Structure 1
Amino acid sequence: MHDFNFFGGGWMMFIWWFLVIALVIVAVRAVMNSGPASQTQPKETPMEILKRRYAEGEIDEEEFNKRKNELLK
């Protein structure tokens, strides 16, 4: 008597379940990405990286000035 013709039958039921599962996945991802851990710190600019490398002694003054002039062009 009831042969699943309500709302398109079996395929329509499959589509509804797919939509429900997709919605749950989207909601979970949204909740997981909204926390404070997901907010990334602003990236260093190339000049800040150069200054840090010079301050840490990775590069000498000559290399620092050469690269600084290249960045400022």
Structure 2
Amino acid sequence: MDFYNGHFGGMHLIWWFIWLVFLGWIFFIPSDIPYQKSKKEDPLDLLRRRFANGEITKEEFEESKKILKSEN
């Protein structure tokens, strides 16, 4: 192979393609990948989770639920 007159046997093009794909992947990948997307938690979902974990009592859950529903 003669590297001095521009004939690289196609390997040069392959490396450019690999670099372009890599850079494109870095800059154009969606910022929020669906399986990594952190879902914004609804206040009612947060309240249910706290109740399920035993952080609040049933009375606190019911009272907070009424407050949240009255705000909507």
Could you say which structure has the higher helix fraction?
1
TM-score by length of 1: 0.49
TM-score by length of 2: 0.49
